Chains A and B, each alone.
Chain A
Amino acid sequence: MRGVLIDAPVAAPAGPTGGAGAASPSGSGVPAPAPSPGFDPSLPWRRARSVALRPEPFGALVYHFGNRKLSFLKSKALVTVVETLAEHPSADAALVACGVPAAQHAAYRRALADLARSQMIEPRETP
């Protein structure tokens, strides 16, 4: 997806329900992203250092200053999860700490996997 008057490659929007419909950023004109390192929710993660989040009424706009990709977080709860990833020993622990109902954990993991694929979140060395 590309935006209006926007040529920046746009990663699939990440939402707790959006994982299944995630498409590759077609039309961005950039080579396909390198194979993702994989997302393991039992490991420690954080928002990538070169990524900024801009709060919006529906969630947040995400921008990666390095690869210049744009993405969107489609819920405020997901924004909280991404912002607090670095404070928890694992992504799963962040979901619990942010009060995400267990029934939604799978959807949130898919959203985080999308963000990992577009390098918006990155693995952390220390737990």
Chain B
Amino acid sequence: MTAVVPERPVGGRLIDQFEYGLDAPICLTWELTYACNLACAHCLSSSGRRDPRELSTAEAEAVIDELQRMQVFYVNVGGGEPTVRPDFWHLLDYAIGHDVGVKFSTNGVKLDRARAQQLAATDYVDVQISLDGATAEVNDRVRGTGSYATAVRALENLAEAGMRDFKVSVVVTRENAGQLDEFRALTDRYGAQLRITRLRPSGRGADVWDQLHPTQAQQRELYAWLLANGDRVLTGDSFFHLSAYGQALPGLNLCGAGRVVCLIDPVGDVYACPFAIHEQFLAGNVRSPGGFQRVWQHSELFADLRSPQTGGACTKCAHFDACRGGCMAAKFFTGLPLDGPDPECVQGYGETALAARDAMTVTPRSSVDHSHTGPVRGQPTLLGMPAIPARPTPAPPARPCDESPLAGMR
């Protein structure tokens, strides 16, 4: 595969420049660990168990040094649950001390009063508490029993410590789409800011996407809500596919994968975006010679992604300039062609495309899966599982060969 890099235009709109990529990402997502105390039903990175090949402290520091050299001014740190890494607080200080600002996402498990005070006293750090329901009932079904209480305790601690501008991060689902005003009231109560993002069929999200992704009616309501409230809520620009309803939402309205953003995963693999943990979107590894910079600037995959889309069904659509065909990861993990409509295309082309999928279509699955294998305290009940199964029943093997031929033999 030889990427022919098209020539970058001079001048013009920034969005057209971004399509050709930047010398360094504007920002990137860095998942520090696959380990997590929770087992959220929709986890985009299929996290749970720590990967033994996880970057060491020294390797993580080297990545930060490189980001400083490349002038990547801030990173979004996540996981897994990043704060369960014993060196998390050290790496946080190290990054800040090297001009790399940190915004980290957490379920709040480690944010006791002392940590909250420490964070409140630290400049250049942002905290995002994940919450996927404005009530424990809605949240815990997806994130697990007790996770709402944990998050709220963290919010209380941060507010009490005088932390300013921390965020409550919500993945919009069919079950919480009607709670947006309640989320706002909740965040206002703690002096926090609301951030809502789109559910992607990535990781374990693929297993629950049919059940949890907002309906078309909910999408329209969400769009209206964003138009009315958009200036007071953060979205990570993740709802740009809704711009095809008409008025563009505030934001860049461009898929930035491999162009202006990317993901570094816990073992140092660099993917085009945090929602695309799959070998097809793997550009390289920070441990290889030349490090992250070489991957960002010279990987063939990223060169390919930095070509403006010229073909495909979407380019003929009147709304293409508004939505740019939507989210690459959403299409990929629902088995749709990357140059066709987003599965949640607001013009309805996505539903048509989903319905037209061949009966033989096998949706791609990532081979990267760190899900807990045993029962987890506070298992999500969304899938109808008991909170703690008395005796976990193994899932039936998809094919006979998937299970050890000796299974069940005594």
| A68 with B260: CB separation less than 8 A | no
Complex Cα gap A65–B22 (Å): 20
Residues of B within 8 A of A57 (CB): 8, 17, 20, 22-23
| B71 with A4: CB separation less than 8 A | no
Q: B293 in the interface, Cβ–Cβ < 8 Å?
A: no
Q: A6 in the interface, Cβ–Cβ < 8 Å?
A: yes
Q: A70 in the interface, Cβ–Cβ < 8 Å?
A: yes
Select from chain B the residue with minimum beta-carbon distance to A27: B250
Residues of B within 8 A of A58 (CB): 8, 10-11, 14, 17
Residues of B within 8 A of A6 (CB): 26-27, 236-237, 252, 256, 260-261
| A52 with B73: CB separation less than 8 A | yes
B185 to chain A, nearest CB (A): 16
Q: Which of B6-48 contact A (CB under 8 A)?
A: 8, 10-11, 14, 17-18, 20, 22-24, 26-27, 29
A interface with B by C-beta (< 8 Å):
1-8, 13, 17, 26-29, 52, 54-58, 61, 63, 65, 68, 70, 72, 74-75
Secondary structure at chain B's binding surface: helix, strand, loop or mixed? loop
Complex Cα gap A124–B18 (Å): 33
Select from chain B the residue with minimum beta-carbon distance to A52: B71
| B237 with A3: CB separation less than 8 A | yes
Known: A3-B252, A6-B26. 15 other contacts (CB 8 A): A3-B27, A3-B261, A8-B74, A17-B11, A27-B251, A29-B231, A29-B233, A29-B234, A52-B73, A57-B23, A61-B26, A61-B71, A63-B73, A72-B14, A74-B14
Chain B contact residues (Cβ within 8 angstroms of A): what range? 35 or more
Complex Cα gap A8–B238 (Å): 14
| A5 with B23: CB separation less than 8 A | no
B251 to chain A, nearest CB (A): 5
Complex Cα gap A8–B252 (Å): 12
Complex Cα gap A70–B14 (Å): 13
Complex Cα gap A58–B256 (Å): 17
| B250 with A75: CB separation less than 8 A | no
Residues of B within 8 A of A29 (CB): 193, 231-234
24 A-B pairs (CB sep. < 8 Å): A3-B26, A3-B27, A3-B256, A4-B254, A4-B261, A5-B76, A5-B236, A5-B274, A6-B27, A6-B256, A13-B14, A26-B250, A27-B251, A52-B99, A54-B24, A54-B73, A57-B20, A57-B22, A58-B10, A61-B71, A65-B99, A68-B101, A70-B26, A72-B14
| A1 with B261: CB separation less than 8 A | no
Complex Cα gap A70–B24 (Å): 14
Select from chain B the residue with minimum beta-carbon distance to A10: B252
| B193 with A4: CB separation less than 8 A | no
Select from chain A the residue with minimum beta-carbon distance to B257: A4
Instruction: Name the residue among A52, A63, A72, A74 with the largest chain B CB count within 10 angstroms.
Output: A63
Select from chain B the residue with minimum beta-carbon distance to A53: B71
Q: Which of B243-262 contact A (CB under 8 A)?
A: 249-252, 254-256, 259-261
Residues of B within 8 A of A61 (CB): 22, 26, 71
Residues of B within 8 A of A55 (CB): 23
Q: B230 in the interface, Cβ–Cβ < 8 Å?
A: yes
- From B8, B18, B73, B238, give the contact of A5 (CB < 8 A): B238
With A27-B230, A63-B73, A65-B124 given, is the CB distance from A2 to B250 under 8 Å? Answer: yes
Select from chain B the residue with minimum beta-carbon distance to A76: B10
Residues of A within 8 A of B195 (CB): 7
Residues of A within 8 A of B251 (CB): 1-4, 27
Q: B103 in the interface, Cβ–Cβ < 8 Å?
A: yes
Q: B202 in the interface, Cβ–Cβ < 8 Å?
A: no
Instruction: Name the residue among A7, A28, A72 with the largest chain B CB count within 10 angstroms.
Output: A7
Complex Cα gap A57–B195 (Å): 32
Residues of B within 8 A of A1 (CB): 250-252
Residues of A within 8 A of B14 (CB): 13, 58, 72, 74
- From A4, A56, A75, give the contact of B255 (CB < 8 A): A4
Residues of A within 8 A of B20 (CB): 57
Residues of A within 8 A of B256 (CB): 3-6
Complex Cα gap A13–B11 (Å): 12
| B29 with A56: CB separation less than 8 A | no
Residues of B within 8 A of A56 (CB): 17, 22-23
Complex Cα gap A74–B15 (Å): 11
A79 to chain B, nearest CB (A): 13
Complex Cα gap A2–B274 (Å): 18
Complex Cα gap A17–B14 (Å): 12
A48 to chain B, nearest CB (A): 14
Residues of A within 8 A of B22 (CB): 56-57, 61
Complex Cα gap A2–B231 (Å): 11
9 smallest CB-CB distances across A and B, nearest first, come from A27-B250, A4-B256, A54-B71, A63-B73, A7-B234, A58-B17, A26-B250, A2-B251, A5-B261
A15 to chain B, nearest CB (A): 8
Q: Which of B88-138 contact A (CB under 8 A)?
A: 99, 101, 103, 124
